[in-house]
Structure 1
Amino acid sequence: MRHLIESAKAVLFDFDGPICHLFQGRSLAPLTERLRHAVTSFAAEGEAGREVWLPETDDPLEILRAAFQQPALVERGIARDIERALTDEEIAAAPGAFPTAYADALVRTLAATGRRMAVTTNNSQQAVERYLETRLTGELFAGRIHGRNAEGELRLKPDPDCLLRALKSTDTPAREALMIGDAPRDLEAARAAGVAFLGYARNERKSEQLRAAGAEHLVDSLRDVVMVVDPGAHV
């Protein structure tokens, strides 16, 4: 882990998990059900209703992913409506998101030691910007927040699209970058982009998921990362 961090000239953060807990204290099931209902309601207005399928999940991003995989929903604009609805929910949740322990300290320490940073997330760019404003760290990521695309094809991790955009915005070769993520899809995206990966596993469930996906380097606290970046840090 020490070598990964010390050799990284740019650090790419997943957002919901390593930086904050976006919907802290809220079950995602009601939100997912609202999106599911919106899809079926829109689709029921036309013949597309006979073609709709949605996964059994409490993850709203998976409902969104499924909507964009169905041509009838994309062509009628239903998938884009769902994306906008989820974006609105994320933006509304951002000011009350719970900061991940030591995330602010890590961000500021990385900046102070000359590392470039970017956010690479399946969440909306607007939600990330709104949250970072509340932490007074937005300027440290200016122009380098890469969320899901609002236009064109939806490309969510494990697709490496947002990481490739981050490498470009930080002007960093993949071999000199490190991604910090908390889900197997983050690891898969990092592999696809040729970027080293450090898993943040805040509980045993996350640790098991990441290890099962093949993650070799894990931390259960970002304090460990801060102390590698700056051994003299008082955190």
Structure 2
Amino acid sequence: MTAETKKLRELITEARFVLFDFDGPICRLFAGHTAERVAKDQVRWLEERGLSGLLTDEERAEPDPQAVLRAVDRRHPAGDLVIELERRLTLQELRAVESAYPTAHVDPLIRTWHAVGARLAVATNNSPLAAARYLTKRDLAECFAPHIYGRTQDLSLLKPHPHCLNRALSALGAEPSETLMIGDAATDFRAAESAGVRFMGYARNERKEEVLRKAGAEVVVESFEPILEMLRGRRR
């Protein structure tokens, strides 16, 4: 058994509470409704109102709609413009749910973890409405409900701020030392560090793994299948 496999088994067996990031670990939200197109729509919406000057050239080319939203919020924090952009992004995420693609092995992983007694929550920078709609569509909502914590109109509280993790910990009555966060971004790792919870990275490709390792993640998996097998072994 390698040191990382041993650490992974330790994380799994000691986790009484599990917090999942949404887009990435649970599904590819923009699998059929690309995030880049949504980001371009946001930029176009700003340009049509004569507000393209709010963004740098680099930000206008940004393929991540969350990054565009954050950029505008840095110039006009908590203003009506940001509130409208956030509302438009929420609508796009709700549409994207219809073509979102589940991450391999995660549906049975969630059900099995729930069945062995772990308490689960979602802690995401996406809209909690989109996460709830997706989980309902996949018949997974009962494994989490009502613990779905996501983006609010106060964008300063997005991860890496630990706000959504702390909300989950408080609502679950969870001890950070007994809690595992599963995420696919450096912001997930930093939020977990700030909240004092353990972290496991999920990386669907080498680029994602490199980002997580560079951030400081010690345990990164490319598939949930070995974790599912560990949990099924516990259940037996």
Is 2:68 the partner of 1:66?
no
Question: Any conservation in 1 of the 2:33–2:96 contact (CA below 8 Å)?
Answer: no
Structure 2 counterpart of 1:191, one-letter code? E
Question: Any conservation in 2 of the 1:40–1:52 contact (CA below 8 Å)?
Answer: no
Separation of aligned partners in 2, 1:105 and 1:233: 13
TM-score of the pair, normalised by structure 2: 0.90
State the SS of the aligned residue for 1:123.
coil
RMSD of aligned Cα (Å): 1.8
Is 2:41 the partner of 1:34?
yes
Separation of aligned partners in 1, 2:222 and 2:229: 13
Task: Mark the CA change 1:41 to 1:215 in structure 2 (over 3 Å): closer, same or farther.
Answer: same
Separation of aligned partners in 2, 1:64 and 1:89: 13
Match of 2:12 in 1: 5
Question: Any conservation in 1 of the 2:116–2:235 contact (CA below 8 Å)?
Answer: no
Structure 2 counterpart of 1:17, one-letter code? G
Is 2:81 the partner of 1:78?
yes
Instruction: Give the aligned length.
Output: 226
Match of 2:218 in 1: 216
Separation of aligned partners in 2, 1:57 and 1:135: 31
Separation of aligned partners in 2, 1:230 and 1:114: 12
Alignment of 1:60-209 (within 5 A): 60-71=65-76, 74-75=78-79, 77-150=80-153, 152=154, 154-209=156-211
Separation of aligned partners in 1, 2:22 and 2:52: 36
The structure with the greater share of residues assigned to helix is 2
Separation of aligned partners in 2, 1:15 and 1:171: 21
Match of 2:4 in 1: none
Q: 1:128 deviation in Å?
A: 0.5
Q: 1:206 deviation in Å?
A: 1.0
Which 5+ residue runs of structure 1 have no aligned equivalent? none
Moved more, 25-34 or 182-191: 25-34
Separation of aligned partners in 1, 2:52 and 2:233: 60
State the SS of the aligned residue for 2:168.
helix
Q: 1:213 deviation in Å?
A: 1.1
Q: What do the CA deviations read for 1:87-126 (whole angstroms, capped 9, x no partner)? A: 0000011122101011111110111010000001010011
Alignment of 1:14-29 (within 5 A): 14-29=21-36
Separation of aligned partners in 1, 2:223 and 2:197: 21
Separation of aligned partners in 2, 1:101 and 1:50: 39
Match of 1:226 in 2: 228
Q: 1:4 deviation in Å?
A: 0.9
State the SS of the aligned residue for 1:118.
strand
State the SS of the aligned residue for 2:233.
coil
Which 5+ residue runs of structure 2 have no aligned equivalent? 1-7
Q: Percent identity?
A: 42
